[in-house]
């Protein structure tokens, strides 16, 4: 869990939200000229944006209402010092002091970012970051910040995302000032930016009226391992801090921008790779850059998968087809936050803040007047849960800043992207709280307890089938059910099993890839496996659900009860089961019971091989439901296909197998154990078989209810809804197709409705066999 004083905040930047006023005294930024030259798709600039400079009080009151504890904002350098150096704009001083004081009045802790890409145009005209004098200009700007705001603001961040403002401002030219400079000049710009950072740290501490906390907020895509294999993990680490990008994207690099700041030196690999482009780097430069920091910020949005390739080099693993993306096309990769922050902390060992994380969505006001953004809620939950996982494993993370509070001017994209948890009508400036803001409020108020990592999402658990090849099996699981079976002797598929002989795996969703036995142990709340006094109801997953295709006769067999199995089968459960006949060829039958009147007669019939006298064979047809108690002699005969619901046991005592061979040898028999457990005399079978082919539609029609489990048949005709209030329910679609809570299902699909999932809606034309333990 997150520490009690964890900082839950939101983030924004000045140009993107503040707007301008004709009399505000602000100077022009590089963005004013860049946009005036036509570099945004919608042609709109930041002259109004969210009009935050006039509406900050109501915006901070709204933050308070939403329980937000901290706000990472930026000061516009050209607003505070219109020419970037020299005269200070007192109107800007008053504006930012009023903003900070208003934040504090609303219980919001300010985190002031000095530079969020807004270089004064006057300085750009003098060369901007390419001019070595910018180190002193930025240092003097830090002095002005410290002298005017340190008495009311304790937390300062020097630079935001130097990888971006260097790379896409001066290398690719996608963003302001739109330059495409030679590599050598971009390295000088990057070096000057890091020296300016160091000078700012010195002056913030020197001129502040009290001790302050200072950090730095770089960014980058996070390399993360394609698996938990140690070799993949180490290869991902190597790539994260390495130099694998082409030269036209060289700035998209972690180590080049963080090692000098935190460790005091440029990485050796980079010095060698970039040698021909580097400016003179002196010991004094490195001493200036390497100033003590109180915390490290990191902006993390997405990442990329890395594995160790066969040649020992990194394999940049392609994302699965159809992988999710945000509204602006960025990949959704929550694991990158877990791995990224772990690896960053391992290397730099400073307290961390996630200074930006969020997503752009295609959200707008719906007909009900609200803004529903479930994709953003899902994104944030997955990412913040990944962050908590890292925290739980010892990473020192002090806070999280969601990007962003308001929909805003998204730089070169204009107003085409919406990152906010507050919708802004830019014509009227009306704010509308999105669903994600209310969700984030709950996260803050519970310090993360409502996150899925702590609550375990209740969603339908769709399971991959486990196929079993047997001597009596056939191919109908392929021809009738559409499965890709392993052979023409496939007799069973287990579609809800946590048994060691065939464990189901969750097919998709939040728990994708999890084995059912492990999930049952690690997430008992999904299976109602926890009593009020904290004890477990079940010592193992209690059910096993199968579909059986008997092309030939199964052996005549019997199952033990729990007491006998516990004593004689290494603690296994016994096996009580029931069958629902899915199909039966004309004249089909099953073995159910025996005719021996005494145990001595039973022994005699078995030893003399008088099988026809011993067994009771009864005809069956489609729709018959049969209960098989422990101690009952039974066998499925050829031509029968059925669904079997049983205790979680694979114990079968074979009494007779028709003298057939498997791999040239007779299969093992268990006659002595059979004699131990067979019930003598056999009860009448009249009350253990009934036909359930017809029945009420759109209802849970109970087929059996006994000590171990309850079984129902559900015939869905158009739509049926019910509340799942059992510990859990297994479901198998035995005919037709339809929809389960929005997910499309077909004949043969098996799934589990976990405890607490609530309302279930079944739609379509289909028949389901359901079961729940007791």
Q: Which residues are catalytic?
A: 161, 356
The two beta strands, 296-299 and 352-357, are parallel
Helix (H) or strand (E) holding 77: helix 77-80
Provide the token pair at 400.
């999280």
Residue in this structure with the two tokens 């079978």, named with its chain if needed: 685
Angular region, 689: left φ>0, alpha ψ -120 to 50, beta rest: beta
Q: What is residue 317's three-state secondary structure?
A: strand
Provide the token pair at 91.
């109107």
Helix (H) or strand (E) holding 147: helix 134-149
Provide the token pair at 605.
């019939």
Helix axes 335-348, 230-240, angle to 10 degrees: 70
Sequence length of the chain is 774
Provide the token pair at 629.
């108690």
Residues 141, 147: Cα–Cα separation, whole Å = 10
Residues 351, 364: Cα–Cα separation, whole Å = 37
N-terminal to C-terminal alpha carbon distance within the chain? 34
Tell me which residue of 165, 194, 196, 197 sits closest to 181, measured CA to CA: 165
Helix (H) or strand (E) holding 304: strand 303-308
Within 290-372, residue ranges assigned H as helices are 335-348
Residue 214: strand pairing partners: 156
Is the bond into 649 cis (omega within 30 degrees of 0)?
no
Residues 186, 528: Cα–Cα separation, whole Å = 59
Provide the token pair at 569.
């089968």
Please give the C-alpha separations between residue 769 and each of 77, 477, 705, 745, in angstroms, as whole numbers.
Answer: 68, 17, 14, 14
């Amino acid at each position: 869990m997150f520490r009690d004083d964890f900082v839950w905040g939101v983030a924004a930047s000045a140009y993107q939200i503040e707007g301008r006023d004709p009399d505000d005294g602000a100077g022009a930024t590089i963005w004013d000229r860049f946009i005036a030259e036509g570099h945004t798709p919608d042609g709109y600039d930041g002259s109004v944006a969210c009009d935050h400079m006039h509406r900050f009080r109501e915006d901070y009151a709204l933050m308070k209402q939403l329980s937000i504890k901290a706000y990472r904002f930026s000061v516009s350098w050209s607003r505070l010092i219109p020419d970037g150096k020299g005269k200070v704009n007192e109107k800007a001083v008053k504006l930012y002091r009023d903003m900070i004081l208003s934040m504090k009045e609303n219980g919001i802790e300010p985190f002031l970012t000095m530079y969020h890409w807004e270089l004064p145009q006057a300085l750009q005209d003098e060369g901007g970051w390419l001019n070595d004098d910018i180190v002193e200009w930025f240092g003097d700007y830090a002095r002005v910040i410290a002298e005017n705001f340190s008495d009311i603001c304790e937390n300062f961040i020097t630079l935001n995302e130097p990888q971006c403002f260097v790379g896409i401002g001066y290398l690719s030219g996608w963003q302001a000032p739109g330059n495409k400079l030679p590599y050598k000049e971009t390295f000088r710009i990057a070096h000057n930016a890091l020296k300016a950072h160091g000078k700012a740290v010195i002056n913030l501490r020197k001129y502040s009226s009290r001790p302050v906390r200072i950090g730095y907020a770089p960014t980058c895509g996070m390399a993360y391992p394609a698996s938990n294999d140690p070799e993949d993990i180490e290869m991902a680490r190597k790539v994260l801090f390495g130099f694998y990008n082409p030269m036209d994207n060289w700035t998209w690099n972690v180590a080049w921008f963080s090692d000098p700041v935190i460790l005091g030196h440029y990485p050796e690999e980079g010095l060698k790779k970039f040698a021909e482009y580097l400016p003179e780097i002196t010991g004094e430069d490195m001493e200036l850059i390497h100033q003590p920091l109180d915390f490290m910020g990191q902006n993390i949005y997405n990442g990329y998968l890395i594995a160790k390739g066969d040649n020992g080099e990194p394999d940049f693993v392609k994302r699965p087809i159809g992988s999710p993306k945000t509204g602006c096309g960025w990949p959704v990769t929550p694991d990158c936050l877990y791995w990224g922050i772990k690896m960053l902390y391992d290397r730099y060992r400073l307290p961390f803040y996630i200074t930006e994380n969020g997503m752009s969505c295609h959200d707008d006001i719906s007909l009900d007047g609200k803004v529903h953004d479930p994709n953003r809620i899902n994104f944030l939950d997955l990412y913040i849960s990944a962050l908590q996982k890292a925290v739980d494993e010892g990473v020192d993370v002090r806070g999280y800043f969601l990007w962003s509070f308001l929909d805003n001017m998204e730089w070169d994209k204009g107003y085409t992207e919406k990152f906010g948890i507050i919708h802004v009508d830019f014509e009227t400036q009306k704010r509308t709280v999105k669903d994600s803001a209310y969700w984030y409020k709950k996260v803050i108020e519970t310090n993360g307890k409502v996150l899925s990592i702590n609550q375990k999402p209740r969603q339908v658990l769709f399971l991959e089938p486990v196929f079993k090849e047997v001597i009596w099996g056939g191919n109908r699981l392929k021809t009738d059910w559409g499965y890709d079976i392993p052979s023409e002797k496939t007799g069973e598929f287990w579609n809800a099993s946590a048994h060691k002989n065939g464990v189901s795996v969750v097919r998709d969703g939040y728990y994708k890839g999890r084995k059912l036995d492990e999930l049952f142990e690690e997430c008992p709340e999904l299976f109602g496996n926890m009593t009020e006094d904290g004890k477990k109801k079940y010592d193992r997953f209690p059910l096993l659900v199968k579909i059986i295709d008997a092309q030939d006769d199964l052996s005549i067999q019997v199952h033990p009860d729990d007491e006998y199995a516990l004593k004689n089968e290494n603690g296994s459960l016994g096996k009580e089961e029931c069958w629902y006949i899915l199909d039966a060829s004309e004249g089909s039958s099953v073995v159910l019971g025996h005719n021996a009147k005494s145990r001595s007669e039973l022994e005699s019939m078995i030893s003399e091989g008088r099988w026809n006298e011993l067994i009771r064979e009864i005809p069956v047809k489609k729709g018959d439901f049969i209960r098989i108690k422990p101690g009952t002699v039974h066998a499925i005969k050829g031509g029968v296909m059925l669904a079997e619901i049983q205790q979680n046991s694979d114990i079968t005592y074979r009494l007779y197998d028709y003298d057939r061979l498997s791999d040239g040898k007779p299969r093992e028999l268990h006659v002595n154990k059979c004699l131990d457990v067979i019930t003598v005399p056999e009860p009448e079978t009249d009350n253990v078989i009934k036909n359930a082919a017809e029945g009420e539609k759109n209802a849970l029609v109970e087929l059996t209810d006994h000590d171990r489990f309850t079984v129902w048949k559900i015939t869905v005709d158009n739509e049926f809804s019910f509340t799942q209030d059992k510990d859990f329910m297994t479901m198998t679609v035995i005919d037709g197709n339809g929809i389960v809570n929005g997910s499309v299902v077909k004949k043969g699909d098996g799934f589990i409705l976990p405890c607490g999932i609530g309302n279930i809606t079944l739609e379509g034309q289909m028949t389901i066999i359901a079961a729940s333990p007791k």
